[in-house]
Amino acid sequence: MRSMLFVPGDSERKQEKALGSGADVLILDLEDSVALAAKPRAREVAAAFLRAQASAGGPLLYVRVNDLSTGQTDDDLAAVMPARPAGIMLPKANHADEVTMLSARLRVHEAENGIEDGATRILPLITETAAGLLAAASHGRPQPRLSGLTWGAEDLSAAVGARSARDGEGRYTDLFRHARTMTLLAASAAGAAAVDTVYPDFRDEAGFRRECAEAERDGFTAKMAIHPAQVPVINEVFTPSKASVAQARAVVEAFRTAGDAGVVAIDGKMYDRPHLRLAERLLARALG
């Protein structure tokens, strides 16, 4: 899982177009991109799309439901769960307990629809409110359904009254760097994928590519997109290069050959156990 593309839940045209984007995951959105009055229709359209693609072998299909405080989550789940989405994105997940609550609801829907228990994954957005950011560390515990953790800057900006999430050079200000860092740390602690947030200016390819490269450097393994044009860049940046895969294999093989060694030498450079763990993680991404 490298690229996750948001698609409005009420737009058949955009959903069909998204199938050709090359994204690993499509997120059918029932939340921010759908007006309140349009949500009932969006549920119907999203469910129909899920059914139509059930055996197509294309990208994984997730649904972003409305957050638990809205009173609309149950209606969202009732509409889409019979169509068997691969996962549910939970926005404004203010504490890991909300993920546990959603998991319990999913278990009921799975039982009612003949879906294997635990098959539906969860991807929470954990920093969209001040309370969510303050409780981000609560997500740093393993939960069986977690496919990853991700964060959001736009809703957090609105929540705290920040006029912009970025400085004059286009980089995140301290508050949003903190949100990004907490997401990365919580994902690592939970043993889940760290998914970087969207880049709103889809016309700024240079800035977008830079942000992708920085995220991959820091440990994120995937990124969300708001436009199909962003998907190829994400896939390129988050796919380990042939050279890095070869290097990782060399490190793993050197430790295998050395037996129980704590340190090995390759071409005059020393590698210790943290290098081995990093190499194993990279190979898991490349081969998984």
Residues 170, 117, single domain; the answer is yes
Split at pLDDT 50, 70, 90, the class of 20 is very high
Residues 247 and 113 in one domain: no
Between CA 223 and CA 5 the distance in angstroms is 9
pLDDT band at 244 (very low <50, low <70, confident <90, very high): confident
pLDDT > 90: percent of the chain: 79
Q: What is the pLDDT of residue 241?
A: 83
28 and 92 housed in the same domain: yes
Type of residue numbered 279: A
Note the pLDDT of residue 287.
74
Q: Which residue has the tokens 């962003």?
A: 230
Give the domain extent around 98: 3-237
| Same domain as 220, residue 280 | no
Does the structure show a pLDDT above 90 at 268? no
The verdict on 87 and 145 lying in the same domain is yes
Per DSSP, the three-state class of 77 is helix
- What average pLDDT does the chain have? 94
- Give 21's pLDDT tier (boundaries 50, 70, 90): very high
Residue 24, C-beta contacts closer than 8 angstroms, at least 6 positions apart? 1, 2, 3, 4, 59, 60, 222, 235
Q: How many domains are there within the chain?
A: 2
Q: Show Cβ contacts of residue 168 under 8 Å, excluding neighbours closer than 6 positions.
A: none
**In 3-state terms, what secondary structure has residue 15?**
helix
- Please tell me whether residues 232 and 248 are part of one structural domain: no
Residue 72 CB neighbours (<10 A): 18
Are 254 and 167 found together in one domain?
A: no
**What pTM does this model have?**
0.90
Query: Same domain for 109 and 227?
Result: yes
Q: Give every CB contact of residue 175 below 8 A, 6+ residues apart in sequence.
A: 156, 160, 162, 165
DSSP class of 146:
B
Domain boundary at 219, 237, 255, which?
237
In a 3-state reduction of DSSP, which class is residue 82? helix
Are 22 and 88 in a shared domain? yes
Does 288 have pLDDT greater than 80?
no
44-80 tens-digit pLDDT: 999 999 999 988 889 999 999 999 999 999 999 999 9
